[in-house]
Amino acid sequence: MIIDRLTFTKEGKQYTAIEDCLDLDPRSYMRILINDSVKKIILPNSYLVVFEKNFENHSQEEMERVRKQLTPITLKVGCRDIYGNKFNFERSFEWFSRYMLQNTD
């Protein structure tokens, strides 16, 4: 599968990079950038990591802050197979809230 486009939606606004949706230090996490000149190929039985953060030396509050920022984001992936057939997939990041503590603001 060839990934042509990633579109992140937060509060009705669309972005091509996840860092535009987050209020985090961009050096504190890994992400992938896909645009008109940069594509990504996903081999069979593989996956694409669009955001990754190591929480090994972070507090519970920092984890909550990241989860709270990721929860309202929706990702839309525009891709195609090797034959040129186009597909779109959309996933909500709402599942990040499953481990959030109750009554956090």
Rounded Cα distance, 89 and 10, in Å? 16
pLDDT for residue 55 is more than 50: yes
pLDDT value at residue 3: 94
pLDDT value at residue 32: 86
Q: Are 73 and 66 in contact (CB under 8 A)?
A: no
Rounded Cα distance, 46 and 49, in Å? 10
pLDDT value at residue 41: 93
pLDDT for residue 63 is more than 90: no
Query: Across residues 6-21, what is the average pLDDT?
Result: 94
b (16+ CB within 10 A) / e for 39-64? ebeeeeeeeeebbeeeeeeeeeeeee
Query: Across residues 39-50, what is the average pLDDT?
Result: 91
pTM summary value: 0.83
Question: 10 Å Cβ neighbour count for 82?
Answer: 8
pLDDT for residue 100 is more than 80: no
pLDDT for residue 105 is more than 70: no
